Amino acid sequence: MAIGLVTPGVGGLGAVVRVLREWQSDEGAVQLHPGDLGWFWRFGGEVTAAATRIWSRDGEILAVGLLDEPDLLRVAIAPEAQRDEELAQRLMEDVSAPETGVLIEGKVYVEAPMGALVQDLLSKDGWETGEPWVPLRRDLSEPVRDPGVRVDVIGAEEAHERTNVQRASFDGSTFTDARWHAMADGEPYADARCLVARNELGESVAAVTVWSAGEGRPGLLEPMGVHRLHRGRGYGQAITIAAARALQELGSSSAVVCTPAFNVGAVATYQSAGFEPQSETRDLVRNA
């Protein structure tokens, strides 16, 4: 049977979350994580479903795409299908033709697992290599030390603290309390935690959301930020260590985070918290 492409309804997102969990591996390439879908869920289930694409054959999901932006598709592929010729050809055709309803016209980006056949086909078709990103991973088989600051798990009543730190960490952030609640209502958040680090005065100075993919699988940090008024005091390292501890408690085998290679400060912060850089990843770009 030929490979089909669909946009799921909200009811179909549960199956997407399940396969994304199954596809996470410490040995495989870093790719779209259920936590990425969970973070996007802050816009609501209907918007998340509308931004999701599923490629299936004979009822089996082979690839999942998330339109992080109308011009950016992030693709996860089943490990056993990453060199599947039929799937790679179909993915290339669908991301290259705006009429398929995947990517818009003009300059667009595709993030796919490094080593997947679709990367080769897009490159041969004239797509160019984008800016490098650095995945970093911390093994969680050994105990994680105390972060050295007070760290609280944030629930519904404290959501405003998590959102305030987010907006104070990232210029232009639109993370509101309503969006936190939408995110927390999403299926991926059942295996997630929001953490806030506090200074000696009890002020919220850094925050992170961690996403488990299940027992024995890599967990994700997405996103982590330090309040702009409290930078340079080690809080980034502290909240990152706290994130690793939280994922270890959730049963994750490792903790993973990804940041642009040009953000040397972020890379240094993650390394100071015991994360080791992995092979760079690069989007593929089709210019207008």
The 10s digit of each residue's pLDDT in 30-89 is 999 999 999 999 999 999 999 999 999 999 999 999 999 999 999 999 999 999 999 999
Residue 69's domain spans which residues? 4-132
Do 151 and 188 sit in the same domain of this protein?
yes
Whether residue 142 is found in the same domain as residue 187: yes
pTM: 0.97
Please identify, among 98, 132, 166, the residue that sits at the C-terminal boundary of a domain: 132
Whether 111 and 150 map to the same domain: the answer is no
Last residue of a domain, one of 76, 109, 132: 132
121 in any annotated domain: yes
Q: Which long-range contacts (CB under 8 A, 24 or more apart) does 63-68 make?
A: 63/87, 63/91, 64/16, 64/19, 64/20, 64/32, 65/102, 66/32, 66/36, 66/37, 66/40, 67/102, 67/103, 68/36, 68/40
Same domain, 88 and 152: no
Residues 106, 30 share a domain: yes
The answer to the question of residue 287 being in a domain is: no
**152 lies in the same domain as 126:** no
At which of 75, 98, 132 does a domain end? 132
pLDDT reported for residue 288: 74
Strand partners for 197: 151, 206
